């Protein structure tokens, strides 16, 4: 098989501390690498439509099931899900793949990791594309300057032990469908969250927030932020404030869409990633 051939069965077993992350390594092996970071309560398959467009354009994708989602990476306790450790996982992934840097793309919680990775490790970040979630400091500021605190009330509820799992688990598929996630993806996510420890691991990202804060610094790398104007969880004020926290070349793209951009607006999102990678978009 030639060096440029697509090999969809590649898998990297990425050690990060005492955890083992599963990372799908797809597309042309000699293509520019793109790291795709998923959100809650998804896994790496949420990027399937985006990744297929990137592969067709000659890019390589690295797609992990992140800490709490991968069966070999579900540590107990919220301290194990601090943002600094989530960023460490991403750096360990690049190291395991033998990559100096990659174009970094994140959605939802994966977007928060992407913002922090770009701010803390610009030398590892060729470009940044974030979908839905604004820069963490913009989000924090919007809590007192807009209705964002009401939109984010569920985050406080998730801090409780055990009760969110018992209430959310049986209703998750229906809640995801009602929020605009396509039915097939909602069913798949709900099934994955029924695996032992999976929902607790995913919720621990929220429970670690008081230990992590939203202290991510400014971003100097070329950045595109994509926001859906019908996103029920994330409002306009934080989206607009994000520009103040990017010092590199910046583009803000507003879509007439909801929260689940990788699944519902894959073509447009992939096109924006390709623009940041310097590829001509047809």
Give the Cα separation of 182 and 223 in Å (integer): 28
Give the Cα separation of 111 and 238 in Å (integer): 14
Which phi and psi angles does 109 have, rounded to 5°?
Answer: -60, -35
Annotated catalytic, 206? yes
Give the Cα separation of 257 and 179 in Å (integer): 11
What burial class does residue 252 get, using C-beta atoms within 10 Å of its C-beta: 0-12 exposed, 13-18 middle, 19+ buried? middle
Annotated catalytic, 225? no
Give the Cα separation of 24 and 193 in Å (integer): 19
Give the Cα separation of 276 and 109 in Å (integer): 21
Please tell me whether the peptide bond between 41 and the residue prior to it is cis, using omega within 30 degrees of 0: yes
In sequence order, what are the residues at sequence separation of 6 or more whose Cβ sits closer than 8 angstroms to the Cβ of residue 95?
Answer: none
Annotated catalytic, 81? no
- Active-site residue identified among 26, 43, 108, 231: 108
> Assign residue 197 a region: left if phi > 0, alpha if psi is -120 to 50, beta otherwise?
left
Structure tokens given for 143:
């809590």
Give the Cα separation of 255 and 167 in Å (integer): 32
- Active-site residue identified among 69, 81, 206, 225: 206
Nearest to 133 by CA among 231, 28, 272: 231
Give the Cα separation of 172 and 36 in Å (integer): 24
Angle at 95 between CA 42 and CA 34, to 5 degrees: 50
- Active-site residue identified among 55, 107, 245, 259: 259
Q: Could you give the residue numbers annotated as active site?
A: 108, 206, 259
């Amino acid at each position: 098989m030639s060096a440029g051939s697509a090999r969809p069965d590649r898998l990297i077993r990425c050690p990060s501390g005492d955890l083992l992350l599963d990372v799908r390594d797809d597309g042309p092996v000699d293509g520019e690498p793109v790291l795709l970071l998923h959100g809650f309560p998804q896994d790496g398959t949420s990027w399937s439509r985006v990744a297929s467009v990137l592969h067709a354009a000659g890019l390589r994708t690295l797609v992990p099931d992140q800490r709490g989602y991968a069966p070999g990476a579900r540590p107990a306790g919220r301290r194990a899900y601090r943002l600094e450790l989530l960023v460490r996982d991403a750096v360990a992934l690049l190291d395991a793949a033998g990559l100096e840097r990659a174009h970094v793309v994140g959605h939802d919680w994966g977007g928060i990791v992407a913002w922090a990775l770009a701010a803390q490790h610009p030398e590892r970040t060729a470009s940044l594309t974030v979908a839905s979630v604004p820069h963490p400091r913009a989000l924090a500021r919007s809590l007192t300057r807009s209705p964002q605190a009401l939109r984010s009330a569920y985050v406080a509820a998730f801090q409780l032990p055990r009760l969110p799992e018992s209430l959310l688990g049986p209703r998750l598929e229906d809640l995801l469908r009602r929020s605009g996630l396509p039915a097939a993806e909602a069913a798949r996510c709900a099934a994955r969250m029924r695996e032992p420890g999976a929902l607790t691991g995913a919720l621990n990202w929220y429970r670690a927030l008081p230990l992590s804060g939203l202290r991510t610094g400014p971003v100097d790398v070329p950045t595109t932020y994509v926001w859906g104007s019908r996103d029920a969880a994330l409002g306009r004020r934080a989206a607009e404030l994000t520009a103040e926290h990017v010092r590199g070349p910046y583009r803000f793209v507003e879509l007439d869409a909801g929260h689940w951009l990788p699944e519902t607006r894959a073509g447009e999102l992939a096109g924006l990633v390709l623009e940041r990678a310097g590829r001509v978009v047809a």
